[in-house]
Amino acid sequence: MIGAIDLDLGGAPQDHRVVVAMSGGVDSSVVAALAARAGYDVVGVTLQLYDHGAATHRQGACCAGQDIFDAREVAQRIGIPHYVLDYETRFRDAVIDRFAASYAAGETPIPCVDCNQRIKFADLLSTARGLGAAALVTGHYVSTRRLPDGRRGLFRARDEDRDQSYFLYATSQPQLDLLRFPLGDLSKADTRAIARAIGLPVAEKHDSQDICFVPQGRYSDVVERLKPEAAEPGDIVHLDGRVLGRHAGIMRFTVGQRRGLGLAGGLAAGEPLYVVALDAAQRRVVVGPREALASRRIVLREVNWLGDGTLEAAMAAGQDVYVKVRSTRPPQRAVLAHGPEGTEVRLADGEEGIAPGQACVFYESPGGGARVLGGGVICRTELAKPTLSPAVA
């Protein structure tokens, strides 16, 4: 089960220094151990991003501290140097503040995308270069491979249940050329088996499920502290213009939500209701029937293109792609197009509950191992069946 890894750097492994981003979990620990066993000059780096003790107002409730301890223990076990870098200020500015602002604007953001793009694959990659590293290596379940033109492409993990490409679409081409992801062809079970065989102390450590700076899952506490206007009350309005009730802040809602509406079990005249839009300017939560959730056109911003040629050429040609609009959903057929507001994705079949702030990621094909062609942030959608009353438009 313990196999050697080749980071595709050319020459002998001992001729290359690599930096491994060590989170304290089993995935990055296995990557560091395998790279060291292969003979690479490995330096482990852990980022101090957020003090969870401050987040929960409980002294000693610092999960990040435990992760740092675990990473240091693994580094000592496998015999590599280990450093902890304090990125708290940068993380707050580049990730937490943007997260809160997005919720206040009526969106449902993905802070992991910002963290990867703006911290791990920007600042940390710069640090790796400063240490003389030929590559930055992480424990993400994706792969990079050399393309015919010499660039490196980004590919989905073979194990679709573990695939993390949705959160990495914003990685730039220069960053990809220096990144390596050795776990792309492994399952989680394989990774844990390797950890046990090597004797790593984190072999049975549970995966983190929460957003790292929201350890108790109460993201609304963070948003309300930074953007109190997101907690201001407003109306819950039906698509037909009826005011059905009041809410305690748009930050508590997301497009597609049914539970927690506070409307007699989410019903109006026997009709199940869903959140179909959030109007931050008017502090309105717009609800309607399930069929009102279906969208066929998605407008994107902050688009990153990793495919062949240019994004403009792909849009002009109406390039066929497969897209994911939520991390847990399967890819759906679509075409890229240039619309009046910029980059558009036109879905072959309607997709329900597409939330602004989430990512729309492009793939070459629908299965595991597919090449990632890029993606962007969902700005807005066009309903498959326009039903919005002029009263709430």
Q: Which residues does 210 contact at the CB level (< 8 Å), separation at least 6?
A: 216, 217
> Catalytic annotation on 212?
yes
Q: Is 203 marked as a binding-site residue?
A: no
> Catalytic annotation on 360?
no
Element (H, E) at 278: strand 274-279
User: Of residues 62, 63, 112, 212, which has the active-site annotation?
Assistant: 212
Q: Region of 265 please: left (phi>0), alpha (psi -120 to 50) or beta.
A: left
Q: Is 23 marked as a binding-site residue?
A: yes
| CA pair distance 377, 383, nearest whole angstrom | 18
User: Of residues 62, 112, 115, 379, which has the active-site annotation?
Assistant: 115
| CA pair distance 78, 147, nearest whole angstrom | 33
Q: Which among 74, 22, 66 has a CA at the least distance from the CA of 44?
A: 22
Please answer whether residues 31 and 137 qualify as being in contact, where contact means their C-beta atoms are separated by less than 8 angstroms.
Answer: yes
Which residues, in sequence order, are bridge partners of residue 235?
246
Please answer whether residues 332 and 348 qualify as being in contact, where contact means their C-beta atoms are separated by less than 8 angstroms.
Answer: yes
Q: Is 25 marked as a binding-site residue?
A: yes
Q: Is 27 marked as a binding-site residue?
A: yes
Q: Is 21 marked as a binding-site residue?
A: yes
Compute the half-sphere exposure of residue 209: CA atoms within 13 Å on the CB side of its CA. Answer: 4
* Structure letter (DSSP) for residue 207: P
Q: Is 24 marked as a binding-site residue?
A: yes
Q: Is 31 marked as a binding-site residue?
A: no
Q: Is 307 marked as a binding-site residue?
A: no
* Number of neighbours of residue 251 by Cβ within 10 angstroms: 27
Q: Is 139 marked as a binding-site residue?
A: yes
Q: Is 251 marked as a binding-site residue?
A: no
Active site residues: 115, 212
> Binding-site residues, please?
21-28, 47, 139
> Binding-site residues for ATP, please?
21-28, 47, 139
